[in-house]
Structure 1
Amino acid sequence: MRQAQAGWIAGTAAAALVAVGALTYAVAGDGGSSAKPSADSADAGFARDMAVHHQQAVEMSYIVRDRTDDVEVRRLAYDIAQTQANQRGMLLGWLDLWGLPKVSAEGPMSWMGMGDMPSEGEGSLMPGMATDAEMKKLESLSGRTAEVYYLRLMTDHHKGGIHMAGGCADKCTVGVEKQLAQGMVDAQQSEIDLMAGMLRERGARPEA
């Protein structure tokens, strides 16, 4: 049953990658429009911040793939890495199409009114992101311990991602970006549910 569910998510990820091309094409088709988002818009802010958020998910996923032989965890990690790497490329590509900077002078999360959110000082820049210390700990683990730690980190990471993507679904004005953001909410919630089951199978809970 678990393999079937994981296979469904893998298929969903593959479909999402096909959609990436269509979504990017749609934005490119509006390249000459005067309705491009501004640098301080939710559209630009989400694209910048989610690109950074996704990059860490990709890094975490490749770390755990090298630290476990478990087929289920390795498959999930690969699916997350591939999906989020492609989405990250699309978000950065939109910023290029819009002629907007990839770094905001106001700092991360300002588009959600969270520009002054306190940093933990260890690399946790946005909701759900792991700290530098947590990333180093993941690199030091192996086997079942690494699997559980990764699943917990990624669960928190997805919850933060859902918070951000939900903000774009509400605040963004570019139709295809809103569509992508809502797709992230739905897909990442499905993966959270899957990871909860994987943690139970390993005698663990989402929280440490």
Structure 2
Amino acid sequence: MFAVGATVAAASDGDGGGSSASGTSSRAPGRYSPDAGFARDMAVHHQQAVEMSFIVRDRTGDEPVRSLAYDIANTQANQRGMLIGWLDLWGLPKVIADEPPMSWMAAPDGGTGGTGEAGEAGEAGEAGGHHEHGTGAAKPGALMPGMATKEELAALGAAEGRDAEVLYLQLMTDHHKGGVAMARGCARQCATPAERALAQGMVEAQQSELTLMADMLKQRGAAPRG
């Protein structure tokens, strides 16, 4: 918990004193900035990964899969706490009803105009930028690219043993691919150093898990979907 609190604090203090060495403003990110959009969207994305991981732990006795599920659930729950903590710290909403998921990835300036007063102006003036998706369309029934549908979650909850293991690994592979694309967007566009660092860490960790899951699927005579 201390590590989470320290990281959240770093998002506020890392730019202190008006401007940092990188030239980013110490003002809180704007409502539609990449920093805020990523925090909102990845918090939702992570929540589903946690949900799927808890489902599969009850559907199989296979220790490698259960261990992977525990690691993913623990890591992503902690990261979700950081993201929500930043939104609270910045005084920004966790949900914006009329904001399309991942629309922040279309921001033309990487979010530098999305802080402070410029960010507030962006609420009225970003209509062309923040209504476009940055990483391709989600599949029908899914909120964001990589996310599972309600039907897929129900199928996971009904499966047992090897079937549950394979479906979980396939769903989580898709989920990680969507998460990696989004995290790369923040690593490029977010203005908050601590958030960029977290996003880059997500990219590296989830790419490593993608390799592991491909091997686990092969061991079970299966392969990633698509």
TM-score by length of 1: 0.85
Partner of 2:159: 141
Cα distance in structure 2, aligned partners of 1:186 and 1:31: 25
Structure richer in helix, relative to its length: 1
Task: State which structure, 1 or 2, has the greater radius of gyration over its C-alpha atoms.
Answer: 2
Displacement after TM superposition at 1:116 (Å): 4.7
Displacement after TM superposition at 1:20 (Å): 3.4
Displacement after TM superposition at 1:121 (Å): 4.9
Displacement after TM superposition at 1:30 (Å): 5.6
Displacement after TM superposition at 1:26 (Å): 1.0
1:160 matched to 2:160? The reply is no
What secondary structure is seen at the aligned counterpart in 1 of 2:73? helix
Closer/same/farther in 2, CA of residues 192 and 178 from structure 1, 3 Å limit: same
Partner of 1:8: none
Partner of 1:79: 71
Choose from 99, 107, 110 the match for 2:103.
110
TM-score by length of 2: 0.79
Structure 1 unmatched runs, 5+: 1-16
Aligned residues: 191
Closer/same/farther in 2, CA of residues 116 and 132 from structure 1, 3 Å limit: farther
Displacement after TM superposition at 1:36 (Å): 1.1
Cα distance in structure 2, aligned partners of 1:197 and 1:30: 39
Choose from 22, 27, 31 the match for 1:39.
31
Partner of 1:203: 221
Structure 2 unmatched runs, 5+: 19-25, 107-129
Displacement after TM superposition at 1:176 (Å): 0.4
RMSD: 2.0
Contact conserved, 1:31 with 1:97, CA < 8 A, in 2? no
Aligned residues with identical type, % of pairs: 63
Cα distance in structure 2, aligned partners of 1:26 and 1:119: 33
Partner of 2:113: none
